[in-house]
Amino acid sequence: MERLDKIIASQGIYSRKEVKQLARQGRITVDGKAVLSSDVKVDAENSHIAVDGSEICVKKHIYIMLNKPQGVVSAARDAVTPTVIDILPDEFKVRKGLFPAGRLDKDTEGFVLITDDGDFAHRILSPKKHVSKTYLATLGKPFDNVIIQKFKDGVLLKDGSRCLSADVRLVEDGENPVVEVILHEGMYHQIKRMFAACQNEVIALKRIKMGNLHLDENLALGECREISYKELCMITDEKA
């Protein structure tokens, strides 16, 4: 049970003060009955809460899949550069406490999960959970089996740290081969540093999958959509 003003305000449309006024004016109903005081406690999950007759769909948390374009930083706030939160449509941006669960470099594109659920973010980022992240990398130099073996053994980065075993396979050959890389951890600039340690170079990078959930191909760069509970479970590989 939670206070009515807290429940409604958490959806980002009305402030607590506005909720108080709306209640006084008799414009809020819980299960069809007007509630004149906004400090009453309500079971948010099992009640029908409405303002002026329109039901408020109470969601404890929100989970958004964004196809991040280049030039945008994976942070909640930044004084100079647009962030992944800044580029969300207003309907999502009104929600408080949103942050990206994990970081992509400013020049990396692709799947960023944005949420206000700290526990879920912790679960998908924890190295113990081994939630894989899949990327497409375009390379500056030829690709070969030596790189496959080094990735399998765990690449030794130039700063002396050793990566966990990772999978890499050729997707498209050519002057700038495209490879798919699956990581089970997330170190700073990891894929770029792994290829640099193999005397190669990443010239473009895109995250296409988190766990078993693919980036929706219908999302153009900069577009986003909410993901379903079933899709959320595909990230952590739990049964929906």
The residues binding ligand URA (CB under 6 A) are 104-105, 108, 189-192, 205
> What φ, ψ does residue 145 adopt, rounded to 5°?
-65, -25
**How big is the chain, counted in residues?**
240
| Closer Cβ to ligand URA, 20 or 133, answer by number | 133
Q: Which is nearer to ligand URA, 74 or 115 (CB)?
A: 74
Helices vs. strands in the chain: H and E counts, helices first: 7, 15
| Residue 24: CB minimum distance to ligand URA, A | 50
The Cβ-side half-sphere exposure at 153, using a 13 Å CA radius, reads 10
Q: How many CB atoms lie within 10 A of CB 227?
A: 18
> Which pair of structure tokens corresponds to residue 227?
């993901």
Active site residue 105: yes
User: From the CB of 113, what's the least distance to ligand URA, in Å?
Assistant: 14
Place of tokens 């406490």: 97
CB of 174 to ligand URA, least distance (A): 21
* Long-range contact pairs involving 143-148 (C-beta distance under 8 Å, separation at least 24): 143/170, 143/173, 143/177, 143/179, 143/200, 146/198, 147/195, 147/198, 147/200
Q: How far is the CB of 140 from ligand URA (least distance, A)?
A: 14
* Residue closer to ligand URA (CB basis): 12 or 100: 100
Q: Which of 78, 86, 105, 216 is catalytic?
A: 105
For ligand URA, the closer of residues 23 and 183 by Cβ is 183
Q: Which residues belong to the active site?
A: 105
